[in-house]
Structure 1
Amino acid sequence: MNNLKERIVNLPNLVSVIRILLAPAMFYFALNQQSYWFFGVLIFAVFTDVLDGFLARILDQATTLGSRLDSWGDFIIYATMAICAWILWPDIMLREKLYFIIIVLSFTLPVLVGLIKFHTIISYHTWSVKLAVAVTTISYILLFAEISDWPFRIATLFCVYAAIEEIAITLLIHRQRVNVRTVWQVLKYNKNSHGSR
């Protein structure tokens, strides 16, 4: 029982839970038109996204539950980012709506495909998704701080590639897996599995 508790209650999982709990704070600041506080909480949420994975590796506390919490946290925070953007900056959202729709679909379609096939939230944590999240978050801040809009448009390309890769992984694997870094990893695994038969 103690070993089970250690696997469930650990520092990386706590950090992921904190990220999930930051979503209501983001909504609060957005609804009160406090954009600077919103940006502050958003940056902290992104920091926790990096921190939980780092802690899981260095503390050797990577678990399936932790991977799922991380994915739930990511989905909740990035959905909150999109909704709050409509609340805080409706004019910019209308101007950039095509790119926003593409990015939102890029984050939601792989989740829906995973839910249909495995009846659970996928938790691959691919390198392409990590890169897409980093690029999109930076470009999101640049866009709404009214510094530059072209990085946000380029971010859609990263998001589309990441989405295609995640959907491909879901279609290629036969049972639900976590921490699949690339589609090439799956293709190599499938090739080795068929070759060993």
Structure 2
Amino acid sequence: MKLKTSITILGGCFLIFLFIMLPIVLSIQEKKEDIVASYSGSTFNLKDVNNEPITEKSFQGPLTAIFFGFTNCPDVCPLTLSNLDQVIEKLDDNDNKKFKVFFISIDPERDSPQVIKDYLDSFKNKIYGITGDPQKIFLLSKSWGVLSEKIFNEDGSYLINHSSSILLLDKGKYIDRISHHENLDNILKTIKNYL
């Protein structure tokens, strides 16, 4: 009899727990969906490293990684791009064909198409570079939830403090973001999960 009573009590507690937790779980899921919906990107017309026009249609591939950064970045940008370069290296030929990486400069005043081309040439694999009008870059970065601000030194030079996650898109739609703090193995694992 005690066992039956214990099972009944435990079952009741479990139902109460579910009743309390279900709205919380659904709320978290709803917030995640709202965040995903808010990162919708925008239409744009900028320039690639060959000074050719490039638009949002370039992000329509099966899996696209976008990273906003700048060529004068001392640490985060080169490390993140190096990790993406190594991911491309580690993918098999089939997955490699389904994956594109874009580097979008948040410092278009200094990052001309030629500067970005020279910068990206230091990586082994193909990374597409984008630059253009500063206002258009700002609006594009904002549409993907990327924030940036110039930090000036006493001599007038500056660095840029910016959001540094890798954005992942599937057919142009936001699906995930990877922190720049992630190690190479975790970045590779996340990307392979979507391929």
Question: Of the two, which has the highest radius of gyration?
Answer: 2
Regarding TM over 0.5, the answer is no
Q: The TM-score by the shorter chain falls in which range?
A: under 0.3
- Please, what TM-score do these two structures have when normalized by structure 2? 0.23
TM norm structure 1? 0.23
